Each structure stands twice: as structure tokens, then as C-alpha cells.
Amino acid sequence: MANNDHGHGEHPSFFQEGGKGLMSWVYTLDHKRIGLMYLVSVLVMFGVGGVMALLVRLELFSPGKTFLTAHQYNQVFTLHGAIMVFLFIIPAVPAALGNFVLPLLLGTKDVAFPRLNIFSFYIYVMGAIIAIAAIVMGGVDTGWTFYTPYSVGSSGKVIWMVFGVFVLGFSSILTGLNFIATTHKLRAPGMTWSRMPLFCWGIYATSLIQVLATPVLAITLLMLIIERAWGVGIFDPAKGGDAVLFQHFFWFYSHPAVYIMILPGMAIISEIIPTFSKKAIFGYKAIGMSSVAIAIIGFLVWGHHMFVSGQSAFASMVFSFLTFLVAIPSGIKVFNWTATMYKGSITFETPMLYALAFLFLFTIGGLTGIFLGALSVNVHLTDTYFVVAHFHYVMMGGTVIAFYGGVHYWWPKMTGRMYNEKLARLACLLVFIGFNVTFLTQFVLGSKGMPRRYYDYLPEFQTLHQVSTVGSWILGLGFLIMVGYLLASLKVGAVAPANPWGGLTLEWQTSSPPPLHNFEKQPNTKIGPYDYGVPLPPKKPGTLEGAVHGTSS
């Protein structure tokens, strides 16, 4: 840890203060640097997973073989899923943006356990290397869910891939543990639970799931490894085991994991919307508590992935009912965000555009989830492109869009530079259009009976598949432009002010990028995070410097 406590002069940013060169990053304990290292890693993984997605779509451009064999196709979609889920989307918001922003929002110098933090980053890197080794050595063709019995008998490098995911799980657990302790114990003086920005509530709820669900995945994967390596038979009916038991175990983690993915996305939206509406968030408590409610209900609905697995009809009914319950806290959030914008003075900078795209896409994703949660409709739609489209509307239209909203929102804070706003809006538009072209068609495909994960299809599906593939190109172009202007901003971007958007939360009350210890003085929150238009309390020594209320930036 850098112990040089400067008590004088102007603070240089953490880029300068923490030292220069590779080693200053390798050995860093600074949550901001660790967050940025995560950010670079997950963006690279998003690129790799994205290329896999483009390959899948390209192969589906025509029925039969376009350019991949069926086996290669199975590998490519498995790797797309596994990389996107375990290496990108789970760590994307909490570990990358959360690491950077959470301590700033809480007004503290660092996370509770900085050494554990860097350790969890290296575990992530190790897990990524093992998972990529599995790909290089021959790939995996089981799908990202590793269902038994196929995963036990498949010829791919399942053990390596599963072990990689096992290792990644520990990174996720340790990050969650760190954030729970940080949120409980390290909030700035004056920041009560009800003055905590909603991003922190979202990350807190996420961390709870990470800590409570991931260990179950760990033991499940361990059992799968043992099963595959020694054939003990716990998932093998011939030896008295139960293949569906794997599905129960897997979804006991992986359904809550879906909320590990979406809750942080919702958390970002809860920050962006009040900032760009210049209005106090509507229903602060409802939004915060609905995050916790989603986290709790999320543990009770895993069976809705298994309606056709042969579980009892009664179990399916219960799971279906509980699944519908998730719609309540989700609906609460959507209505509260919308109500926040009502009569606000809204400006449409890029982060806000992403937030609006999120609202639109997440709502479609959520509503189609009700179709899938209904038992009778589910039998028709299960294992079709409808599920693929629903999943992507929630995960990509929801989380990924929110993640890029967050990246654009905090980019000036993280890098100290502004990006090209016009190009950013163009990219956002392309992503939005491309996304809908790609996945809206898949709802139609699925409802007409196109099964998911198939290499080949009937000629009548070709037009829709081609539309979807063209959509994926528009989407790809949007992201390519984004890479371009974000990289360019590092060199030629205008220097970012401390508070480019006129936000009230604590991260905007320190310089961009922040100094090593985040704040010049220990911040002391006298007002709520979204009290726009509320007059400042009389200034006393120790209050925030330059806290901005109202619309000026």
C-alpha cells in the first residue's frame, strides 16, 4: 500500500500519485486501478464473446453449412455463452464499475479489504486463462449450462472449462464479500442507509446473491468434475444418481446469477436517470427495497428453467407463481424511473440515451419473461429462439446497455477525458437499432418454432434469420465506433471537469480523475444523493466543497 500521506498542496490524480509503470498496476491496492484493470479485461472479453456471436449469426445466414461444421458451431455458441456470462457480464458492472465507483459513492478511501480486492482480480485472470486454455485445447460443445449427462460424456475439454468457471466463482464471491463489508462499515459520516445512492443498494443486493449463490455453483461444478473424472455416478441414473439433480443445482446458482447480472444494471440506471432529469428520484425506498426483494425472490424461482425436465406438476406451479412475483419489484423499478423523468428537465447526453434504451428494452425483456413463466405457453416456447430473444433482451438490452450507459456516465471520472458526444450518440443509436433488428426477429422465429442451438433450419426460417444476422452487423458496427471514440478520447479528448453532468452524488464532488485517497477531505453528507433544487444547508467547515444543486453544471 502506498503510505505517502500528503497533507499539503493540490492532489495529483491517482494515475500520478500511485506511481508509474507496469509494476504500479500489478501491485496496486487502489480500488480505482483494480476497477480499471477489470474494465479493460471485461471489455476485451466482450470483444471476444462478441466475435463468437457474429460467427454464430453468420453461420445461420443460410441453412446447412455456411462456413462452420456442426461441431464447430456447437463450440462457438458454447464459448459465446460461457465467455459472455462468466467472463464478461457477471464481473462487468460489480467488479469493473462497482470497484471504481462504489467507494467514491460511499465517500470512503477504499474498499474494506484492498488486498482481497487485488487477489480477486488475479483469481479472475487465472480463471480466464484456464477457460481460454480449454478453448485452445479443443473447446467445449455443451452449451454454457454444462447439462449432464452430455457434459459427462462429451469429448470436449469440459473439465478445464468447468474448472475455469469454478475459479472465476471465487473471484465473484470475494468481490461480493468485500462490497458487503464496505457498504456496512465504511460509509462516510452522515451517510445513513437511506442516504446511500441507489447504485450502492443495487450493488449491495448483488453482492448478497454473489456471496450466497456462488458457493453452490462451486460445489456443483466440483461434483461435475469428480463425476467426469472418476465417474462416481451422482448424476448418473445407472448408478443410482440423478441427472436432473445437476439442473437443480445449476439453476439454484444460475437463476440468482441472472439477478447478479441485471441488478447492477438497474443500479446504474437509478443513478443516470435522476442526474439527467435534474430531479429527485421518485420512490427512493421502493427502488432500494425492490433490489433486495429481487435478490430474495431470485433464490426461489430456479425451477422455471426446468418446466419440461420432468419435475412434478405441483413444483412447476409453485415455481411459476414465484416467477410472476419477480414482476412486482421489477415493475416498481420501471414505474419509478419513469415517474422520476416526469416533469424533470431532461437532457439527452449519451448516458441518458442508454438509460432510455434500457427502459425500452428491459420492459420488452421483462414482459416476454411472463410468457415464459406461464406454464402452458412455456411448453410451446421452451428451447426455441423465443427464449434466446428474451434472454438477450434482458441481459444485453438490460445489463449490457446499462453497463455501457455506466461506462459513458463515469468515463470522464475514470479517465479525466470527455469522449466525442456526437459519435457516442451515433453509436448508441446503431446499437439500439442493431439490437432490435437482431433480436426482435428472434421472438418471431421462436414463436414459429425455430429451436435454439440448432445448426440447421427449415428454408421458411431463412428470411428472418438473415434479418437477424444483418442486425448483428449493425450492432457490431455500433460497438466498433464506440471502441474508436473511447480510445481516441484518451489522446485527444477534452479534459473532463469534476462534475460534467451536474450530479449530486459524492463521486462528482472530487476531481476527475480522483486523487489516490479519493477525496481531499473526508466528505460528510448533509443531504440525500438526489436532492436537486433543495437549498444547501448553511456552509460549515467540513461540508462538501462545491456541491451543486439544481441544473447548473
Partner 1 sequence: MAQAVDELKHKHDEHPWFFHHHFTDVDQQFDTAKLGMWTFLATEILMFGGLFVGYAIMFSMHPEAFHAGHHHLNVNLGVINTAVLIFSSLTMALAVRAAQTSNKRGIIINLLITIACAFGFLVVKYFEYSHKIHEGLLPGVYYSFHEYVPHIEMYFALYFMMTGLHGIHVTVGIGLLIWILLNALKGKYNSAYYTQVELVGLYWHLVDLIWIYLFPLLYLVS
* Contact set with partner 1 (CB under 8 A): 1, 3, 5, 108-110, 112-114, 116, 173, 177-178, 180-181, 184-186, 211-216, 218-220, 222-223, 226, 229-234, 239-242, 245, 249, 517
Instruction: CB nearer to partner 1: give 179 or 276.
Output: 179
Q: How far apart are CA 483 and CA 72, in angstroms?
A: 28
Instruction: CB nearer to partner 1: give 109 or 549.
Output: 109
Residue 387 beta carbon to partner 1: minimum distance, rounded to whole angstroms:
26
Instruction: Please report the DSSP string for 407-459 in residue order.
Output: HHHHHHHHHSB---HHHHHHHHHHHHHHHHHHHHHHHHHHHTT-BTT-S---G
Instruction: CB nearer to partner 1: give 235 or 443.
Output: 235
Residue 19 beta carbon to partner 1: minimum distance, rounded to whole angstroms:
17
Residue 156 beta carbon to partner 1: minimum distance, rounded to whole angstroms:
20
* Residue in 426, 410, 118, 88 with CA at minimum distance from that of residue 260: 88
Instruction: CB nearer to partner 1: give 175 or 436.
Output: 175
Backbone angles phi, psi at 111, to 5 degrees: -75, 170
C-alpha cell belonging to residue 144: 454454457
Residue 535 beta carbon to partner 1: minimum distance, rounded to whole angstroms:
30
Instruction: CB nearer to partner 1: give 312 or 552.
Output: 312
Backbone angles phi, psi at 131, to 5 degrees: -65, -40
C-alpha cell belonging to residue 522: 473526508
Residue 220 beta carbon to partner 1: minimum distance, rounded to whole angstroms:
6
Instruction: CB nearer to partner 1: give 215 or 484.
Output: 215
Residue 173 beta carbon to partner 1: minimum distance, rounded to whole angstroms:
6
Instruction: CB nearer to partner 1: give 137 or 219.
Output: 219
C-alpha cell belonging to residue 400: 449490457
Q: How far apart are CA 432 and CA 268, in angstroms?
A: 18
Residue 248 beta carbon to partner 1: minimum distance, rounded to whole angstroms:
8
Instruction: CB nearer to partner 1: give 230 or 535.
Output: 230
Residue 223 beta carbon to partner 1: minimum distance, rounded to whole angstroms:
7
Q: How far apart are CA 323 and CA 370, in angstroms?
A: 8
Instruction: CB nearer to partner 1: give 239 or 539.
Output: 239
C-alpha cell belonging to residue 239: 448408478
| Ranges of H-type helices in 278-382 | 284-297, 313-341, 350-373, 375-381
* Residue in 160, 204, 172, 173 with CA at minimum distance from that of residue 85: 172
Residue 73: partners with Cβ closer than 8 Å, 6 or more residues away:
56, 59, 455
The alpha carbon dihedral of 459, 464, 470, 476 has a sign of: negative
Q: How far apart are CA 412 and CA 428, in angstroms?
A: 17
Q: How far apart are CA 332 and CA 335, in angstroms?
A: 5
C-alpha cell belonging to residue 517: 485517497
Q: How far apart are CA 452 and CA 254, in angstroms?
A: 19
Residue 126 beta carbon to partner 1: minimum distance, rounded to whole angstroms:
18
Instruction: CB nearer to partner 1: give 123 or 352.
Output: 123
Q: How far apart are CA 216 and CA 229, in angstroms?
A: 20
Residue 162 beta carbon to partner 1: minimum distance, rounded to whole angstroms:
15
